[in-house]
Structure 1
Amino acid sequence: MNTFIELLAEKGFEKITIRDIAERANINRGTVYLHFVDKFDLLDKCIETYVALLLNHCANQADTNLNAGAFQSVFEYLEENFTVYKLLLSNEGFGFFRRRLYDIIAQTVTEVVGIKSENQAFSNGVTTHFLTSGFIGVLEWWINHSMPCNVKEITEQLMFLLEPYTKHLVSS
Structure 2
Amino acid sequence: MSKVDRRIAKSQEAIKKAVIELMSEKSFDEITIQDISDRANVSRGTIYLHYLDKYDLLDKLIAEHIDKLREICESSSELEYIDANLPWFEYLEGHYLFFSTMLASKGAPSFRSQFLEFLIEEFKDEVDVAKGKNQGLKEEVILQFIVTSYVGLVEWWFNNGMPYTSREMAEQVGILLDRNL
Query: What is the TM-score of this pair, normalised by structure 1?
Result: 0.78
> Is contact 1:113–1:122 with CA below 8 Å preserved after alignment?
no
1:37 aligned onto 2:57? no
Moved more, 145-154 or 129-138: 145-154
How far did residue 80 of structure 1 move? Answer: 2.0
Shift of 1:154: 2.4
Decide whether aligned partners of structure 1 residues 163 and 59 sit closer, same or farther in structure 2, where only a CA change above 3 A counts. Answer: closer
> Is the partner of 2:136 in helix, strand or coil?
helix
Q: Deviations over 1:28-55 (max 9, x none)?
A: 3233234323222222221112222222
Bigger relative contact order, structure 1 or 2 (CA pairs below 8 A, ≥6 apart): 2
Deviation at 1:122, TM superposition (A): 5.7
Q: 2:65 aligns with which of 23, 35, 50?
A: 50
The residue aligned with 2:156 is: 141
Structure 1 counterpart of 2:142, which letter? T
1:4 Cα deviation from its structure 2 partner: 1.9
- What is the CA distance between 1:148 and its match in structure 2? 1.9
Query: Aligned pair in 2 of structure 1 residues 132, 66: CA closer, same or farther (>3 Å)?
Result: farther
Runs of 4+ aligned structure 1 residues displaced above 6 Å come to: none
5 Å-filtered alignment, 1:92-107, equals: 92-107=106-121
* Matched positions, count: 164
Structure 1 residues 161 and 26: alpha-carbon distance in aligned structure 2, compared to 1, 3 A threshold: closer
Contact 2:81 2:178 in 1 (8 A): no
Per the TM alignment, residue 110 of structure 1 is displaced from its structure 2 partner at its CA by 0.7
The answer as to 2:100 corresponding to 1:86 is: yes
Query: How far off is 1:138 after superposition?
Result: 0.9
CA-CA distance at 1:69 after TM superposition: 0.9
The CA RMSD measured in Å over matched residues stands at 2.6
Structure 2 runs not aligned, ≥5 long: 1-15
Q: Which residue of 1 aligns with 2:179?
A: 164
Residues 75 and 151 in structure 1, CA contact (< 8 A), matched pair in contact too: yes
Distance in 2 (CA, whole Å) between partners of 1:58 and 1:45 is 20
* Letter of the structure 2 residue corresponding to residue 38 of structure 1: D
Query: Following the alignment from structure 1 to structure 2, what is the Cα–Cα distance between the partners of residues 159 and 33?
Result: 43
TM-score normalised by structure 2 residue count? 0.75
Unaligned runs of 5+ in 1: 167-172
